[in-house]
Structure 1
Amino acid sequence: MYELLPLAVSAIAVLVTFLYASWQDIKTRTVLTNTWYPAAVIGGISVTYFWYQQYLQPSNVAVIVFAISIIVCVMMWMFARAGMFGWADAKAMILLAATVPITPFAAWIVPSLALSTLLNASVIALLVPLALLIQNILRKEKAPFWLMCSGMQVPGDTITKHFGFVAEEITDGDPITREFLPASSSIRALKKNSALSIRNLRECPEEYASELDLYRRAGAVWITYGVPFMIPITIGYILALFGFSLGDAILMVVFG
């Protein structure tokens, strides 16, 4: 039992870090680089002591766990480099895989704590489109199906208080006209400075004053809304830390 105490310290440090990173992600959609440093130091010392204990009493299980930890770290780094994963999310997963290879609070869950966390986070993230779809149906909103599952209408004069991308092409005139944009418009807005990016509107109000005025006069504006992935990661980590895997739960329901 005592050999898991270093991992317990590391696990708590990572949890505190994830909660703080989630708060930053909600507020600004960015996570400061130095956020990861304290847990990396604490976790690095703790996990080094843990692996030293495993070295004194080697086992095949320890080798497998160590190999999976290395694979997850490399995989997350490659995904982030390829643009398939946000750097903050990748750093969170690398920190977790490197400093908390197994959960000290429950039985080991397959294939690893980090991968179980990622699976839990993915399942939780999939619930968001369902919740948005139900909300939009109940409000009797009308929009393309992809937008019904990924967006919502917000007051134009409060648009900078939200996160995401404008999902309509709004043209000034008498009357103001609007047309739904394709789903790919959000991806294009990421690659260039665009008035479709609500972050740009919030950070550079002078530069986009005419667009802000237009959105205000347009009334309600459709936006795509993405939950910061640090939140599902944090919830998924808490579940996995205490031995709960949503993937296992789904398989049990499907296959009995």
Structure 2
Amino acid sequence: MFASVPDLLRLVVVPVLVWAAYRDVKNRRVPNRTWRPLFALATVLLVWDGVDSFLAGGLTWSYFLVGAGISLLLVIPVSYGFWRFGAFGGADAKALIVLALLFPTFPAYAVGPSLLPVVETPTRAFALTILSNTVLVGACYPLVLAIRNALAGRVTPLMVVGWPVHWSDAERTHGRLLENGKGFTRSGLDLDALRMYLRWRGTTLADLREDPERFRDPGSLPAEPSPAGDGAVADGGVIEDDWGAAAFLADVSSAYGTTPEGLRDGLDVLATRETVWVSPGIPFLVPILVGLLVALVYGDLLTSALRTVGVV
């Protein structure tokens, strides 16, 4: 492979993103320290490219200004905004911000007789290509869910947003319940919040199911609750308060937006049903990784599709 020194250094992000995507799939947790060296490298390379482009002048400088402008003024604010509004997690936003800084313009890699990426955009803003590829890859996720459920004979409106799991797997599953006492819901109990609640009470879902009436009684709450943690899957009464839900949330302050009513509904479902439908959510670092790899090898999927139909 032949490429400039900055473009070769940019490839460091690939193995880091592979590891981060693996962690995202496994436990939805990526340490903040993962991104700090990449932020530093991206800043150095951005300045390096800026100086080289300025000295080269002409279209090289123009492409850099356009690419850096789109990265800094569009991709980074959009990524931050999606995180602020809860569309995806902090690790997803950090990954996209790092990529926006690392790849303001299209890199160039000569592999044998081929020059990669193959399909470039008129603006040559590579960060925008990564973002659009990621969105297109992520949009395929409901189709994958639907196919998986259809092959298992589960043909239902829920087949495009989730799948059923046995109650005993709920403590080891990421996602959100798609059911409450009234039926289907898109705002069911977050299973991270469930794990926090069970750890706070020092119990398990199996114990809760064995004697639900005792656990519904707020008088059964422990005098000194255990630390609730953050809900990650482990690597290895005078006042009416069913399940002690309000007391739990008052103690931990926040559990992924869970309300006492939402926690009670989720616990009622998990205490009585053998299987529950769960929306696993998208471990979004996976589409980001795939979007980056496709961008590095092939280029811009949206531009390619538009050219195919004669739009551009």
What value does the CA root-mean-square deviation take over the aligned residues? Answer: 2.7
Residue 4 to residue 68, structure 1, CA distance change in 2 (3 Å): farther
Aligned to 2:48: 49
Contact in 1 for aligned 2:175/2:191 (Cα 8 Å)? yes
1:95, distance to aligned residue in structure 2 (A): 0.7
1:210, distance to aligned residue in structure 2 (A): 7.3
Over alpha carbons, which structure has the higher Rg? 2
In structure 2, the residue corresponding to 1:25 is in which secondary structure? Answer: helix
Question: Which range is displaced more, 92-101 or 206-215?
Answer: 206-215
Structure with higher helix content: 1
Structure 2 residue 60 is the aligned partner of structure 1 residue 5? no
Which of 131, 134, 137 matches 2:147? Answer: 134
TM-score by length of 2: 0.66
1:137, distance to aligned residue in structure 2 (A): 2.3
1:27, distance to aligned residue in structure 2 (A): 2.2
Contact in 1 for aligned 2:72/2:101 (Cα 8 Å)? yes
CA distance in 2, matches of 1:2, 1:162: 44
Which of 288, 301, 305 matches 1:246? Answer: 301
Structure 2 residue 153 is the aligned partner of structure 1 residue 98? no
1:251, distance to aligned residue in structure 2 (A): 2.7
Residue 8 to residue 139, structure 1, CA distance change in 2 (3 Å): same
Aligned to 2:91: 88
CA distance in 1, matches of 2:143, 2:3: 43
State the Cα deviation string for residues 84-107 of structure 1 (Å, max 9, x = none): 443221211111111222323335
Equivalent runs, 1:199-218 vs 2, <5 Å? 199-207=192-200, 209=203, 213-214=208-209, 215=270, 218=273
Give aligned pairs, total. Answer: 235
**Structure 2 unmatched runs, 5+:** 110-115, 210-269
Residue 149 to residue 255, structure 1, CA distance change in 2 (3 Å): farther
Contact in 2 for aligned 1:69/1:98 (Cα 8 Å)? yes
TM-score by length of 1: 0.79
Aligned to 2:219: none
State the Cα deviation string for residues 62-100 of structure 1 (Å, max 9, x = none): 221222222222332344334444322121111111122
Which of 43, 67, 70 matches 1:68? Answer: 70
User: Which amino acid letter does the alignment assign opposite residue 5 of structure 1?
Assistant: V
State the Cα deviation string for residues 17-38 of structure 1 (Å, max 9, x = none): 2222212211221222111011
Residue 46 to residue 245, structure 1, CA distance change in 2 (3 Å): same
Aligned to 1:168: 179
User: Which amino acid letter does the alignment assign opposite residue 292 of structure 2?
Assistant: Y
CA distance in 1, matches of 2:176, 2:32: 25
Aligned to 1:113: 126
Contact in 2 for aligned 1:8/1:104 (Cα 8 Å)? no
**Structure 1 unmatched runs, 5+:** 171-178, 187-195
1:116, distance to aligned residue in structure 2 (A): 1.1
